[in-house]
Structure 1
Amino acid sequence: MLISGFLVKPRSSKNGVSKTQSAGNQRHQSSLVGTSETTCTTTYPSSFCEWLAGILDGDGSIQVSNKGYTFLEITMGLEDLRLLRYIQHMLGGSIKMRSGAKAYRYRLHNQLGMIKLINCINGNIRHSARLLQLHRVCQVLDNPLILPNTLSAQSNWFAGFFDAEGTIGIAMKHRLPQLSIRVNNQLLQDVESYKVVFGGNIYFSSSQNGYYQWSVQSRKDVIMMRHYFKSSTFRSHKSRRFFLISEFYSLYDLKAFQPSSMNHKAWLAFLDKWNKLMI
């Protein structure tokens, strides 16, 4: 079936019902869309591929140059150089500091490396813009695009997307400290998976040209995210705050945040550790 210039392979289902989906509008070349069942064997663990796809959905760019070469770029702050070094160790590529910006840029452009990358992330990419970029790269590499599967609480994609787009913060509300975990994105569909799997709420902010923010603030929901953190691999500088969640609630229960508390010095020491992981 040809839809919007693409040859589309329907996703198979157990009940025999199939659906078709267009991934963009290219004029010059058709490309096959498959399902996760057609994934090529990759040398990378599935947990790494899921996590990497989350990173790319948040901070990556998969492009085709004017000369027809494919390449990957990931830009992150200075504090996440260790994370980029890990990706470089797994994929190869290069890292350079961006001129005039407090950030590093990772780049991969050799064809063999890009083929291995696509075999790794294909079927895990789900961000609206990134999926279109992936489809264009798949055309050049003559590789069918694989549509993303439904996410579960065991998926490492959430960890990768949090490393790219998430925050953990403490704010005073009604004179009480409140810990929250948040993930931001400009499109609603790119954060609503967090709400479906982990609960919480989604808010819209009109600042910065408008964006959607998923957030969990209740103790129960935050603890659920901490359990997910223990079962998945986070690698960003900010994710180290997950290790401090238990200490936060222990001091909160002691009301150590109150200046009159005998444990107030412990609260101040905690805040010092927390702020050293400024994000």
Structure 2
Amino acid sequence: MRERESLIIGTLAVILQIIYLFPLIVVSKVIIQEFFSNPQVTNAQSIIELYNIITNNPSMLVGTSETVCMLSTIVLTGIAEKDKKVLQWVAGIVDGDGNFHISKKGYVELSVVMEPRDIACLYKLKQMYGGAIKATSHANAVRWRLHHKAGILSVINGLNGLLYNPVRIAQLERVCSLYNVEVISSTPLTYNNGYLSGLFDTDGSVYYNKSSNQAFITISQKERTLLDLLVSVYGGKVYASNKAKTAFKWTISKKVEVLALIDNYFHWYSCVSAKNKKFGLVKQFYYLSSIGALKASPDSELGKSFVQFVERWDATDNPQ
């Protein structure tokens, strides 16, 4: 009799442990699947929130559908935020180097043209929407083209309300009209938005001036409207790039502002292009400047350290 009672009690204990751990197992599986689907995005915030629930209030891990739903919502919210960041990045890419074209027969094509070193951006677009990537015949550039209707609809529905370039918005409105899609007004641009990283991937630049010991983060445009918007959110200034004022450049040049933008923005909203590698080198530039390496003789140890820095900097312009 006692053996039977012990067996029953042991079985119940195992069942209770399974019930207790089931929600954690389910949500952990979702996290692991999401992690391996995109190794660059770990949904760290979702994992931290889940950890806090487990450690601060483990009694919440009761085997009920409500608990499973609650924990799953945490993970799915992280996934949704990642997807939103990606769409914001695409919006920046399209605003910068994209173009919507409608043929006389009513066919729509979206194209994005970039330098060969930044082809990783085009491959990401192809992975998301399909299309084809080919070298242009008249310039040292690479073009991604998308013209099938399903892909175009996916783009316009995803970017509707996320564009800020007046030229691109006008193009999108014509495409939306053709496909009977309601146009959504652009949402206000905020600091924590993937848009800037996409725009920087297309029209951005990072460079330094050895004489002034300065590093610069810039974005160039033919019109200043979009650049003035960046100033209102990220600071910096807009300058005319030529006397005719047919081109403009948004510039961040103060050391404190450059480092703040790298640490507080680009660290969280990484660029896809090869330009992203330069942000880490900017900090090294400031360090070498602080120890006098920029003005040291090229034959000295300090001077050699700066020569090596220049080689690494130039290598990012021609990634292998």
> Per-residue deviation at 1:176?
3.2
Structure 2 SS opposite 1:183: strand
> Per-residue deviation at 1:48?
1.0
Residue identity (%): 29
Task: Give the 4+ runs in structure 1 shifted more than 2 A.
Answer: 205-209, 259-262
> Per-residue deviation at 1:265?
1.1
Aligned residues: 235
> Per-residue deviation at 1:248?
1.2
Within-5 A mapping of 1:104-253: 104-172=142-210, 175-206=211-242, 210-227=246-263, 228-253=265-290
State TM-score, norm by structure 1: 0.80
> Per-residue deviation at 1:278?
3.1
CA contact (8 A) 1:198 1:221 kept: no
Structure 1 SS opposite 2:213: strand
CA contact (8 A) 1:72 1:107 kept: yes
Structure 2 SS opposite 1:102: coil
Equivalent residue letter for 2:279 = F
> Per-residue deviation at 1:208?
7.7
Equivalent residue letter for 1:246 = K
- Compare 50-59 and 182-191 and name the one that shifted more: 182-191
- How far apart, in 1, do the equivalents of 2:209 and 2:286 lie? 14
Structure 2 SS opposite 1:153: coil
From 85, 107, 111, the equivalent of 1:73 is 111
Higher strand proportion (structure 1 or 2): 1
> Per-residue deviation at 1:237?
1.7
- How far apart, in 1, do the equivalents of 2:213 and 2:207 lie? 10
> Per-residue deviation at 1:277?
2.2
- Compare 196-205 and 158-167 and name the one that shifted more: 196-205
CA contact (8 A) 2:223 2:246 kept: no
User: Residues 226-275 of structure 1, C-alpha deviation per residue, up to 9 Å, x if partnerless?
Assistant: 02110102111222211212211111111111124642211110111111
Structure 1, gaps ≥5 residues long: 1-41
Q: Structure 1 209/278 Cα, relative in aligned 2: closer, same or farther at 3 Å?
A: farther
Question: Which residue is 2:20 aligned to?
Answer: none
Structure 2 SS opposite 1:146: coil
State TM-score, norm by structure 2: 0.70
Structure 2 SS opposite 1:87: helix
Question: Which residue is 1:15 aligned to?
Answer: none
CA contact (8 A) 2:116 2:141 kept: yes
Equivalent residue letter for 1:55 = I
> Per-residue deviation at 1:189?
1.1
> Per-residue deviation at 1:216?
0.8
- How far apart, in 1, do the equivalents of 2:237 and 2:252 lie? 7
The answer to which structure, 1 or 2, has the higher relative contact order (CA under 8 A, 6+ apart) is 1
Question: Which residue is 2:67 aligned to?
Answer: none
Question: Which residue is 2:86 aligned to?
Answer: 48
- How far apart, in 2, do the equivalents of 1:207 and 1:72 lie? 33
Structure 1 SS opposite 2:190: coil
Structure 2 SS opposite 1:214: strand
Structure 2 SS opposite 1:144: coil
Structure 2 SS opposite 1:176: coil
Equivalent residue letter for 1:252 = S
- How far apart, in 1, do the equivalents of 2:260 and 2:187 lie? 23
Bigger CA radius of gyration: 2
Structure 2 SS opposite 1:222: helix
- In the alignment, structure 1 residue 269 sits paired with structure 2 residue 288: no
User: Residues 89-117 of structure 1, C-alpha deviation per residue, up to 9 Å, x if partnerless?
Assistant: 11111111111321111011111111111
